[in-house]
């Protein structure tokens, strides 16, 4: 039985990845940080909470990471823990850096010192590209130009991961993932805000959704598809970095239209209010990735398309709200 440690296991990707690895017969350890009432909602949703062995630690506490790595010596570590909300990173830049940058350094050091054969996956992000692209698309070779404290913190993590591979021969890889969503996406993220907002409007619980810039475009995929690429990267003979995307880009406006249409609301614009507080100080206008390398080497392709994703999210929020009633 292979062993894997997932940091950020209570988040969206952590939950989907844990399910994926359990189905592959892994023993899954999940790092959770100390909190009065940990939220197992995502793992409960996927019905896997009791199949995971939880270990207590924090990305900002190097000793806790050393103890965990030393004790478990997992074959694979998936570092998904992060202060992952871009908007908050301007207000909490230091925390974002401590978790997303230094936390990765601590983790890699622990692996280097106490379990150097452990493979490590780092959750990198398309946000590192900023508004940089070539021929309208981003690839593994597109220069980075991060435009938020979040993206900058992730760029440090990207390079320190490469550096530990090059300096110490560790098996470390970066997955540069474009936006991926699901019915368990955090509620503050725009896609979930819309799916939940539309479901509430349909049920007569609220009558508006407050958003920022709805003309920005993102390359959105389904988290359940994207976690498979993380595992595939870790099964290769040599560690490498891969860009993971659907290759399609859509605006938030498109997301709104499909979501509202799905519940039979055509005149959706009257329910959407714009609040400048939700606009970023430095915006990314279009993200669209070309994941040919992942397709050719890993054999990875996304399965769920944009329209299916939007409808899945709205449906699940409708169901959840109806059962809450």
Minimum gap (Å) between residue 315 Cβ and ligand NAP: 20
Residue 182 binds ligand NAP, judged by CB under 6 A: no
Select the residue interacting with ligand NAP from 10, 107, 256, 309 (CB under 6 A): 10
**Active-site annotation holds for 127:** yes
By C-beta, is 125 or 291 nearer to ligand NAP?
A: 125
Burial 125-140 (b: 16+ CB within 10 A, else e): bbbbbbeebeeebbbb
The correct pick among 14, 74, 183, 239 for binding ligand NAP (CB under 6 A) is 14
| Choice between 183 and 202, CB closer to ligand NAP | 183
State which of residues 6, 52, 72, 82 lies at the interface with ligand NAP (CB under 6 A).
82
Catalytic annotation present for 3: no
Is position 177 an interface residue for ligand NAP (rule: CB under 6 A)?
yes
Site for ligand NAP, residues 83 to 112, rule: CB under 6 A: 83-84, 99
Of 13 and 75, nearer to ligand NAP (C-beta) is 13
- Residue 243, helix vs strand vs coil: strand
Q: Which is nearer to ligand NAP, 15 or 209 (CB)?
A: 15
Q: Does 224 bind ligand NAP (CB under 6 A)?
A: no
* From 75, 76, 106, 127, the catalytic residue: 127
Q: Which of 4, 5, 6, 12 binds ligand NAP (CB under 6 A)?
A: 12
Per CB under 6 A, the list member of 186, 200, 203, 311 interacting with ligand NAP is 186
Binding residues vs ligand NAP (CB under 6 A)? 7-8, 10-14, 33, 35, 39, 58-60, 80-84, 99, 123, 125, 177, 179-180, 186
Residues with active-site annotation: 125, 127, 150
């Amino acid at each position: 039985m292979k062993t894997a440690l997932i940091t950020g296991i209570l988040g969206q990707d952590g939950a989907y990845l844990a399910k994926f690895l359990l189905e592959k017969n892994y023993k899954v350890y999940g790092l959770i940080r100390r909190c009065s009432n940990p939220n197992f909602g995502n793992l409960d949703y996927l019905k896997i909470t009791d199949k995971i062995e939880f270990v207590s630690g924090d990305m900002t506490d190097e000793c806790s990471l050393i103890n965990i790595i030393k004790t478990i010596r997992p074959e694979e570590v998936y570092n998904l823990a992060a202060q992952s909300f871009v908007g908050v990173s301007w207000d909490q830049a230091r925390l974002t850096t401590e978790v997303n940058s230094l936390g990765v350094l601590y983790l890699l050091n622990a692996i280097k010192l106490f379990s150097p054969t452990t493979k490590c996956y780092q959750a990198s992000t398309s946000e590192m590209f900023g508004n940089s692209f070539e021929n309208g698309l981003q690839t593994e070779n597109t220069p980075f130009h991060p435009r938020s404290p979040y993206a900058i913190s992730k760029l440090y993590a990207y390079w320190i991961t490469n550096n530990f591979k090059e300096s110490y021969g560790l098996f470390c890889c970066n997955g540069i993932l474009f936006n991926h969503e699901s019915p368990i996406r955090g509620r503050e993220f725009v896609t979930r805000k819309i799916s939940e907002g539309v479901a509430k409007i349909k049920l007569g619980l609220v009558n508006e959704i407050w958003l920022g810039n709805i003309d920005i475009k993102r390359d959105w995929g389904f988290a359940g598809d994207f976690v498979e690429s993380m595992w595939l990267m870790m099964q290769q003979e040599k560690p490498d970095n891969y860009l993971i995307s659907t290759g399609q880009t859509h605006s938030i406006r498109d997301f709104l239209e499909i979501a509202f249409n799905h519940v039979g609301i055509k005149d959706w614009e009257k329910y959407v209010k714009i609040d400048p507080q939700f606009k970023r100080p430095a915006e990314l206008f279009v993200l669209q990735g070309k994941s040919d390398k992942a397709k050719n080497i890993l054999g990875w392709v996304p399965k769920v398309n944009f329209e299916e994703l939007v409808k899945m999210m709205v449906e699940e929020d409708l169901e959840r709200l109806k059962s809450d009633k």
